[in-house]
């Protein structure tokens, strides 16, 4: 974690909390920090990993580990996650977000706030969720999103997961936009949750914005921008290495 005034030992292992920018992949973040680290440490190859992938169209908390701290990835990404998601009701897309164009529209005049509260309550607790076809899940050894982007039919099996809380933080009945705060387990696809809530409302829905605000104990309040993380790596005091 980032602590002012201390020496950093990236080889022994550091954990950096990063606020991933929009349209960056999680690997883009890792690649940028790894490149900065190899130059600062004067080595060609260096282990850098991340705990919990975010889609390019999502922003927010991603945990980056260096050196021997990469062994912590499984435990770090197992932490409870919190998101703020914005849904557009009345329209669907194949990817369940803005990666693909709208493929169908539906009436929304029947939707009320009470209906939304009842629908979201159905998805709290232990549930089964079918992952999106546009996901990193593997089908016959291939990534589902590679098949989906080629127009191939993708059938994925439902996965059991836990959604601890869904809070409606805003609903605009004119724009038909819905903002939710979601606390959930590892493996939850918020895009798939948007799909399922849209189906429950009889209107369809897709995700228009997603921000991850917490992974375990890592929060946005302690997150660095990518640029700030680069500056930290370039300018921090390094712990002395054994001969």
Assess contact for 210 and 200: CB atoms under 8 A.
no
Structure tokens given for 241: 């290495």
**CA distances to 83, 170, 209 from 105, in Å:** 26, 22, 19
Structure tokens given for 221: 């309040």
Q: What is the dihedral of CA 78, 211, 199, 203, to 10 degrees?
A: 180
Q: Indicate the DSSP class of residue 4.
A: T
Catalytic residue among 19, 55, 97, 196: 55
Structure tokens given for 175: 């724009």
117 among known catalytic residues: no
Distance of CA 129 to the CA centre of its chain: 16
C-alpha angle with apex 69: 30 to 211, nearest 5 degrees? Answer: 45
Among residues 16, 210, 220, which one has the least CA distance to residue 99?
210
> Residue 74 phi/psi, 5° resolution?
-60, -45
- Residues identified as active-site: 55
């Amino acid at each position: 974690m980032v602590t002012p005034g201390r020496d950093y030992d990236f080889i022994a292992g550091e954990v950096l909390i990063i606020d991933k920018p929009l349209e960056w992949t999680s690997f883009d973040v890792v690649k940028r920090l790894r490149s900065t680290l190899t130059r600062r440490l004067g080595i060609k190859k260096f282990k850098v990993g991340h705990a919990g992938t975010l889609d390019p169209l999502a922003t927010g908390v991603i945990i980056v580990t260096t050196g021997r701290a990469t062994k912590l990835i499984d435990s770090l990404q197992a932490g409870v996650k919190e998101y703020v998601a914005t849904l557009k009701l009345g329209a669907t897309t194949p990817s369940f977000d803005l990666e693909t164009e709208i493929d169908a529209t539906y009436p929304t005049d029947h939707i009320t706030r009470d209906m939304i509260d009842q629908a979201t309550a159905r998805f709290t607790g232990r549930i089964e969720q079918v992952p999106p076809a546009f996901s990193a899940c593997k089908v016959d050894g291939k990534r589902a999103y590679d098949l989906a982007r080629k127009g191939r039919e993708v059938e994925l099996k439902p996965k059991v997961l836990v959604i601890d809380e869904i809070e409606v933080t805003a609903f605009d009945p004119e724009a038909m936009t819905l903002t939710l705060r979601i606390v959930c387990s590892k493996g939850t696809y918020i895009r798939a949750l948007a799909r399922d809530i849209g189906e429950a409302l009889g209107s369809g829905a897709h995700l228009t914005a997603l921000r991850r605000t917490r992974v375990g104990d890592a929060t946005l309040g302690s997150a660095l921008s990518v640029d700030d993380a680069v500056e930290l790596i370039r300018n921090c005091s390094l712990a002395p290495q054994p001969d």
